[in-house]
């Protein structure tokens, strides 16, 4: 039901399929009160609405609404032919201690009136709940999920609860993912949103996302303010709902991407507003209350969809991190939250793409905690530890990554058994990775200074001081080996690229073009990120070195993949959980025979979660006739 398209770390664009059509994510379900219609459905659709949410409890307890819903269906009642989600009345139950309907009858009513996504009657958890009280709510919510045995065409929404406790959010995410639910709302967060506790929300969302099934949309209940949407999507949220567009309008407030404003404190409308060119601010202020509310609601909903469009484009460009980091400086609460995200850098690193379409933005010392930088730092630190002192740091002024090297450096490098490093924003990086993401693919503020002294036994002297080794090193072969080590997680690259390899490179730029062995191409180095693209010969060599970096597919798919066709999720039998999105993948049949090589669209740990879409974009199959 959930098909991923593009991604940027935990964020993704995808298509979610329901009985009444598809929803492109990330997206928002505007809240519709069936008793009070502020905007026309046609107006909301023009702004970009693909789906909506309404409250089944209000419909059920209002006789007139219930009769129409039961006779004409939910979509007839609302007057909308697209996907509709229904809430269960959990919030009303929380506020009034109890309601007159139980969980089973509540879901059966949603099913009977034709809800596309129906929500169980979960237990709302407040931020001030004790751990024990929150745990009881988590377990009871799961018990209620198990009461739903025949949902029919209605997708079951099983809310993730757990208050502010990370361990309980993780537990709840696992429990709700393992049941009948096909949709995972994160509940109990409105008090945090209302009080700008975005740093606590980071804990809630990350632990919900990392422990839930990525093949089921993650929905942030009540999280539809543009201010926090980008950060939420960065953390893995796929869907939102909100009544804020109407609530703010009733209070004469307008939504903007970085917050909200009182109508009487603004002088101009933004150009993207549906009201721009139709009214001046003064004319809106002078409208009768009901008409003013309707027009402000139109603007506010436009603000939400305008922000969603920006977020989707950022995911496509793989610049959402930069966007969120920039936005985090617009409000102290967002900045605290962004700093909190970076505390999870180690946990997020395995889910970060191998590289990006766009350069890496290095703002300041906080950028050192970005998952892509953590990956690089871990690799370099591991190398330095294993080399036991045979390390030399080049002087900062003597090293110019991406440029051709002096004859002096090349001569000394070729004769030395020392490993050369340079400092890249205070991070030790092997010189051989000078053109590999994110080292060269970089835009920097230049405000972050290197104040760190190398630790013993590292020597930071001149390369001319090196002792000479008996063997001569080829910089280009060593580059190929180092890139391979970093890309595929090996301690040594010589098994993949032995001394007999020929490395071709550009005479103009010095960049590696390809690596050959006995006249056969093993791989080429991509210009945009400095990583390897493997040929079938290269894939065969990699396969002989490790049982990692591979997926196996069913017999039904094998022959197509052997001929060079893409791998679809539904045909995958197993996948290495360590596969990094964007990296090379070996495709095998059930017996382990190599079929093809290509690029992974999602991390290995997510490969088995989806049933629709392309898992691996195959570059070459083993069938010579393909």
Question: Residues with catalytic annotation?
Answer: 87
Consecutive H or E run containing 393: strand 391-393
Q: Which pLDDT band holds residue 510 (cuts at 50, 70, 90)?
A: confident
pLDDT at 198 over 80: yes
Phi-psi region of 531 (alpha: psi -120 to 50; beta: other; left: phi over 0): beta
Please state the rounded mean pLDDT for residues 17-22.
Answer: 97
Q: What is the mean pLDDT of residues 451-464?
A: 43
| pLDDT bucket at 465, cuts 50 / 70 / 90 | very low
Mean pLDDT (whole number) for 438-461: 62
Whether residue 397 is predicted with pLDDT greater than 80 in this model: the reply is: no
Vertex 312 angle, CA 306 and 313, to 5°: 90
How far is it, in rounded angstroms, from Cα 196 to Cα 200? 9
Buried-exposed string 503-527: b where 16+ CB fall within 10 A, e elsewhere: bebeeeebbbebbbbeeeebbbbee
Burial of 229 (C-beta count, 10 Å sphere; 0-12/13-18/19+): buried
Burial per residue of 309-348, b for 16 or more beta-carbon CB atoms within 10 angstroms, e otherwise: ebbbebbeebbbbbbbbebbeebebbbbbbebbbebbeeb
pLDDT beyond 70 at 402 = no
Predicted pLDDT at 405: 66
How distant is the alpha carbon of residue 85 from its chain centre? Answer: 24
Average pLDDT over residues 221-230: 93
Greatest alpha-carbon span in the chain:
91
Ranges 55-59, 200-204, 299-303, 390-394: which has the least confidence: 390-394
**pLDDT for residue 469 is more than 60:** no
Q: Contact 44/30 with Cβ under 8 angstroms?
A: yes
State the first-to-last Cα distance of the chain, in angstroms, to the nearest integer: 32
Identify which has the larger pLDDT, 470 or 133.
133
Q: Which helix (H) or strand (E) holds 147?
A: none
Instruction: Write down the pLDDT at residue 475.
Output: 87
Look at residue 5 and give its three-state secondary structure: strand
Whether omega for the bond prior to residue 438 falls within 30 degrees of 0, making it cis, is: yes
Token pair in block for residue 594? 């190599």
With 50 as the cut, is the pLDDT of residue 458 above it?
A: no
Distances (CA, A) of 506 to 48, 188, 388, 503, 512: 48, 57, 34, 10, 7
Q: Name which of 275, 264, 273 is nearest 303 in CA terms.
A: 273
The alpha-carbon radius of gyration of the chain (Å, integer) is 28
Q: How confident is the model at residue 468 (pLDDT cuts 50, 70, 90)?
A: very low
Domains of the chain: 2-244 (3.20.20.105), 350-488 (no CATH), 502-621 (2.30.130.10)
- pLDDT on residue 1: 85
Give whole-number Cα distances, 67 to 33, 77, 78, 101, 112, in Å: 16, 9, 13, 17, 12
Residue 390: per-residue pLDDT: 84
Looking at residue 394, what is its pLDDT? 79
Each residue's pLDDT tens digit, 30-81: 999 988 889 999 999 999 999 999 999 999 999 999 999 999 999 999 999 9
Six token digits for residue 465:
């001081």
Structure-model confidence comparison of residues 224 and 396, the more confident one: 224
Region 529-536: what's the mean pLDDT? 96
Query: How far apart are the C-alpha atoms of 236 and 173, rounded to whole Å?
Result: 13
The residue among 82, 72, 157 whose CA lies nearest residue 112 is: 72
* pLDDT tens-digit map of 67-124: 999 999 999 999 999 999 999 987 776 665 667 789 999 999 999 999 999 999 999 9
Per-residue pLDDT reduced to its tens digit, 328-352: 999 999 999 999 999 999 999 999 9
Cβ atoms of 22 and 15 within 8 Å: the answer is: yes
Burial class (CB within 10 angstroms; exposed 0-12, middle 13-18, buried 19+) of 570:
middle
**What is the structure's pLDDT at 463?**
42
Q: What is the mean pLDDT of the chain?
A: 91
For tokens 């269906």, what's the residue? 73
pLDDT at position 543, please? 97
Of 354-368, 400-414, 448-462, where does mean pLDDT reach its minimum? Answer: 448-462
Instruction: Tell me the percentage of the chain whose pLDDT exceeds 70.
Output: 93
pLDDT over 60 (residue 213): yes
Q: Report whether 373 contacts 321 (CB < 8 A).
A: no
CA dihedral 402→578→341→11, nearest 10 degrees, is 90
In this predicted structure, what is the pLDDT of residue 170? 98
């Amino acid at each position: 039901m959930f098909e991923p398209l593009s991604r940027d770390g935990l964020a993704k664009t995808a298509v979610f399929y329901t009985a009444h059509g598809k929803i492109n994510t990330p997206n928002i379900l505007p809240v519709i009160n069936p008793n009070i219609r502020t905007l026309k459905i046609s107006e909301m659709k023009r702004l970009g609405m693909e789906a909506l949410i309404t409250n089944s409890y209000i419909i059920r307890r209002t006789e007139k609404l219930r009769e129409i819903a039961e006779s004409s269906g939910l979509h007839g009642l609302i007057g909308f032919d697209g996907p509709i989600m229904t809430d269960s009345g959990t919030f009303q139950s929380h506020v009034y201690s109890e309601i007159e309907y139980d969980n089973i009858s509540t879901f059966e009513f949603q099913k009977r009136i034709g809800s596309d996504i129906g929500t169980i009657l979960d237990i709302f958890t407040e931020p001030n709940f004790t751990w024990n009280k929150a745990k009881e709510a988590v377990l009871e919510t799961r018990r209620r999920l198990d009461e739903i045995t025949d949902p029919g065409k209605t997708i079951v929404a099983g809310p993730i609860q757990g208050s502010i406790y990370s361990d309980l959010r993780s537990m709840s995410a696992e429990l709700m993912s393992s049941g009948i639910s096909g949709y995972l709302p994160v509940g109990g967060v409105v008090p945090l949103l209302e009080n700008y506790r975005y740093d606590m929300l980071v804990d809630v969302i990350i632990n919900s996302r990392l422990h839930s099934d990525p093949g089921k949309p993650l929905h942030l209940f009540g999280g539809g303010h543009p201010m926090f949407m980008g950060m939420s999507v960065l953390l893995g949220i796929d869907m939102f709902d909100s009544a804020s567009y109407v609530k703010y309008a009733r209070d004469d407030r307008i939504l903007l991407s970085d917050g909200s404003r009182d109508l009487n404190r603004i002088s101009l409308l933004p150009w993207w507003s549906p009201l721009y060119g139709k009214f001046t601010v003064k004319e809106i202020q002078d409208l009768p209350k009901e008409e003013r509310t309707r027009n402000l609601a139109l603007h506010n909903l436009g603000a939400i969809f305008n922000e969603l469009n920006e977020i989707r484009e950022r995911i496509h460009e793989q610049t959402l991190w930069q966007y969120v980091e920039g936005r985090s400086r617009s409000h102290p609460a967002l900045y605290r939250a962004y700093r909190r995200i970076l505390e999870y850098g180690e946990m997020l690193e395995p889910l970060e793409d191998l590289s990006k379409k766009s350069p890496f933005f290095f703002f300041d010392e906080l950028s050192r905690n970005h998952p892509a930088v953590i990956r690089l730092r871990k690799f370099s630190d591991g190398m330095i530890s294993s080399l036991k002192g045979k390390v030399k740091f080049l002087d900062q002024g003597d090293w110019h990554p991406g440029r051709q090297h002096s004859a002096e450096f090349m001569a000394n490098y070729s004769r030395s058994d020392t490993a050369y490093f340079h400092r890249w924003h205070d991070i030790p990086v092997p010189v051989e990775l000078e053109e590999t993401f994110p080292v060269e693919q970089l835009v920097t503020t230049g405000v972050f200074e290197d104040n760190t002294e190398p630790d013993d036994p590292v020597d930071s002297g001149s390369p001319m001081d090196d002792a000479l080794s008996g063997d001569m090193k080829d910089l280009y072969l060593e580059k190929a080996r180092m890139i391979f080590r970093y890309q595929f997680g090996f301690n040594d690259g010589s098994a993949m690229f032995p001394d007999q390899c020929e490395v071709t490179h550009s005479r103009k730029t010095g960049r590696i073009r390809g690596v050959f062995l006995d006249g056969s191409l093993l791989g080429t180095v991509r210009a945009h990120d400095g990583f390897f693209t493997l040929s079938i010969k290269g894939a065969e060599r990699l396969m002989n070195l490790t049982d990692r970096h591979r997926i196996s597919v069913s017999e039904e798919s094998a022959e197509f993949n052997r001929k060079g066709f893409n791998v679809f999720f539904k045909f995958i039998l197993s996948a290495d959980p360590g596969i990094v999105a964007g990296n090379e993948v070996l495709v095998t049949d059930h017996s382990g025979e190599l079929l093809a090589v290509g690029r992974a669209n999602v991390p290995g740990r997510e490969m088995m979660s989806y049933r629709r879409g392309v898992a691996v974009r195959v570059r070459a199959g083993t069938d010579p006739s393909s």
